[in-house]
Amino acid sequence: MAEEKIQYKENDFDPVNQFIEEQSAIRRSKSFWANAKSISLILVAIGILAILIAYAFYLYNKKDYLTKVDQVRQQAYERGVSGSRDQINQLQSKVNTLESSAKSSQLIIDGLETKNKALETDNQNLQKDFIKSRDETAKLRTSMLENKEVKFYQKELQKIKEQATKDKTSLQTDLILFLEKDHTLPNGKKVAVKTRWYFKDPSQEKPNLKNCYIDFQTSDLRALELNDKQSDFNYPSYYSDRLKLEKNVFVQIKNEKCNL
């Protein structure tokens, strides 16, 4: 059998392959730019989201800042109000102190006015008492001049003066006249109240000194000196122990019985 020649025909697909490669390259290029656009959009979206988040965070921080500012302002206001209240309280305390001082001063003034009125009243009473005492002294002087004992001693003194004149002598010796009054003490004891008038010269009409004493008229109790009108007298326990009487009893006797 004769060998058959196999005939074949060669086709050139290079242009086709080239076309396919070019289309693939185009598709790859389109896919790349599409992916790039997508990525760009995603990045833009992420950037916008980041901006929005930052703005939201800014607003949050701003709100917190404003809140803190308000709190600081409120605290400052409260401190200011508290300080003003303290100042007001201090001023009120000072006002109260001044009012209290004014009231105290007014009370002192009122007290001084009351004392002044009382002193004026006392002065008027003293003037009345002085006038009354002067009148009583005048009456007492008149009564003493009319007293029989006084008249008796005046007559005796006059006789001494007349005798001295008659004898043409000058009597310069001291003269003592005694005026005696009987008295009964509250304890029933009888005593004699004696007044002594001292004259340096019998020609004198008034004595130089007058004093008084009480004669208990017993040997166991010595006389109690009452001194003159202006002087106080000593009242020892020697008398109070024996007489059982207070000093005011003898003060009254001195004022009523002694011719001072």
**Each residue's pLDDT tens digit, 16-72:** 677 777 777 777 766 677 777 778 888 888 889 889 888 887 877 776 666 777 777
Q: Give CA torsion, residues 92, 95, 96, 101, to 10 deg.
A: 160
Q: Which two tokens stand for residue 108?
A: 């002192």
Pull the structure tokens for residue 199.
């004259």
Residue 1 has pLDDT above 50, yes or no: no
* Sequence ranges of the domains in the chain: 25-117, 172-257
Nearest CA-CA partner of 205 in 153, 258, 139? 153
Mean pLDDT of 183-211: 89
> Which helix (H) or strand (E) segment is 184 a member of?
strand 175-184
Residue 250's pLDDT band (cuts 50, 70, 90): very high
Question: What is the share, in percent, of the chain residues with pLDDT greater than 70?
Answer: 74
Alpha-carbon gap, residue 41 to 163, rounded angstroms: 168
Question: What does the pLDDT look like over 227-238, one tens digit per residue?
Answer: 998 999 999 998
* The Cα angle at residue 89 between residues 83 and 91, in degrees rounded to 5: 105
* pLDDT at 223 (0 to 100): 92
- Express each pLDDT in 128-159 by its tens digit: 777 776 676 666 666 655 666 666 666 766 77
Q: What is the pLDDT of residue 168?
A: 47
Confidence of residue 253 (pLDDT cuts 50, 70, 90): very high
pTM score of the predicted model? 0.37
φ and ψ of 111, to 5 deg: -65, -40
Answer for the pair 160, 172: CB distance below 8 angstroms, yes or no.
no
Gap between the Cα atoms of 259 and 181, Å rounded: 10
